[in-house]
Structure formats: structure tokens, C-alpha cells
Amino acid sequence: MPAALLYDVHGNLPALEAVLADARSAGAGTFVLGGDYALFGPWPAETVARLRELDPASWIRGNGERWTAAPGEAPGDAVVQGAIAACRAALGEATVAELADLPFEHTAPTARYVHGSPVSDVRSFAPQPGADDAELLEGVGERRLVFGHTHLPFCREARGIELVNPGSVGMPFDSDPRAAYALAHEDGRVEHRRVAYDHEAAAAAVAERFDGTWTATVARRIRAARF
């Protein structure tokens, strides 16, 4: 059975439910959860609770989990800090600490899974080859590296390593508002998939469920599928 690669859900429960239904229909039997589960979304606690129901699932920590536990490590702008405060209140101290304590990476015999890159949860790869590819891949011995963070689905090769970004379940940034994820098949194929859901309602729910000027920015990102 293929493994579903779910990255950057960002508290968008309807997008997650749409992806899970699609993954199940495609025969997915296992899940790799790539970080940034709750921050910025309208349903942070509900999304984490739904992800906890997935079994078997391998979890890693994203910068969102780190920032939520340690706001001083995050950018100081009003959007990020406002979203962090709302997320911390919604999740509660115990869940915030639990998510921050997740491992930085998950390894399998032929693949490594990280949030941004093997060296950082906020530095990642672009769809096109970059000058820092070699630095970001230093020490990687696996044939495949799976990562997220940029919310841009793509697959390319660098230094003989297959780079896979499944895209963002809850907040894509490639101008396509459909939820994005990928399936890793047993024969070695990676299949990028997109699933439509009511993204307009999800965008509206940010301001309906939370107060603060940060909600307008997040709602716009969900609607436009652009940063």
C-alpha cells in the first residue's frame, strides 16, 4: 500500500479531511506527517486531534511547532506573533510542548523525511536548482529526500538524490487552492495529488474563529493560494 505524505496542514481541517478521503480511496495504508500541523489555521486543536487518529503514522516537527512553543524564536511581525498566540491558546500547554518535542526527521531505508531541509526547518529547496543545494544535502545518503515548508509541490534531482516536496495540505502557495499531498508507492513512484475542497469557507473561518489583524492575511493566503 502507498504511504500518504502530508505536509503543512496548518490547522485547515476541511482540507485535511478531503485529503484523507482521497488517500484512503487510493489505497494509502501509512502516513508520514511532515510538520506545521496547527499554526495559522482556523482549526488548530481539531486538526491535531484528527491527525492523532491516523495509524500507523510517522510524525516530525516543523518550524510551526517550534515557534508555537518558543515565540521568541519566530519572526516578530504581527501576523506570525498573533497567529502563535491564538494557536497556543487553542492547543493548550501540554499539546504545544508535545508537538515541539517531535523528532526533527524520520528516516527509512531509502528515504529521509524533514520539514525544511536536513540542516534547518526554515531553509528549504526551490523547484529549480539552487546554489545552496549541496550545502543543504551534506551528509544525506538516502536516495530520496522528502520535505515541505515552501508549500510548493515538485520533484527534481540534485546530486543523485530525488527531492520531493508534496506541497501543502492546508495552504498551497502555487496559485492552486486545492489541497496538495503525495503518495509514495511501493514500486518507488511518487504521485502528486490535488483535492478540491471549500477553500473559501476555510478562509472565512479564520476570522470567524479568531480575533486579530493577522486573520486577514491568512485568509487571503488560503483564498489566493499565494504567500
Q: What is the chain's percent helix, strand, coil content, to nearest 5?
A: 35, 20, 45
In a domain, 55, yes or no: yes
Please state the φ and ψ torsions of residue 101, each to the nearest 5 degrees. -90, 5
In a domain, 30, yes or no: yes
What per-residue confidence (pLDDT) applies to 105?
A: 98
For residue range 82-106, what is the model confidence (pLDDT) as tens digits? 999 999 999 999 999 999 999 999 9
The domain in which residue 80 lies consists of: 3-105+168-224
223 pLDDT tier (thresholds 50, 70, 90): very high
Mean pLDDT, the chain, whole residue set: 98
pTM: 0.98
Residue 56 sits in a domain of what CATH number?
A: 3.60.21.10
For residue range 105-139, what is the model confidence (pLDDT) as tens digits? 999 989 999 999 999 999 999 999 999 999 999 99
What per-residue confidence (pLDDT) applies to 209?
A: 98
In a domain, 128, yes or no: no
Dihedral, CA of residue 96, residue 97, residue 98 and residue 100, to nearest 10 = 90
Structurally, how many domains does the chain consist of?
1
In a domain, 72, yes or no: yes
For residue range 29-71, what is the model confidence (pLDDT) as tens digits? 999 999 999 999 999 999 999 999 999 999 999 999 999 999 9
Residue 2 is given by DSSP the state: P
For residue range 134-189, what is the model confidence (pLDDT) as tens digits? 999 999 999 999 999 999 999 999 999 999 999 999 999 999 999 999 999 999 99
In a domain, 34, yes or no: yes
Strand-pair category, 111-113 with 161-165: unpaired
Task: Count how many Cα atoms sit within 13 Å of the Cα of residue 131 in the half-sphere of its side chain.
Answer: 0
Question: Rounded mean pLDDT of 15-19?
Answer: 99
Q: What's the rounded Cα separation, in Å, for the pair 183 and 191?
A: 5
In a domain, 183, yes or no: yes
Packing angle of the helix pair 44-52, 93-100 (nearest 10 deg) = 60
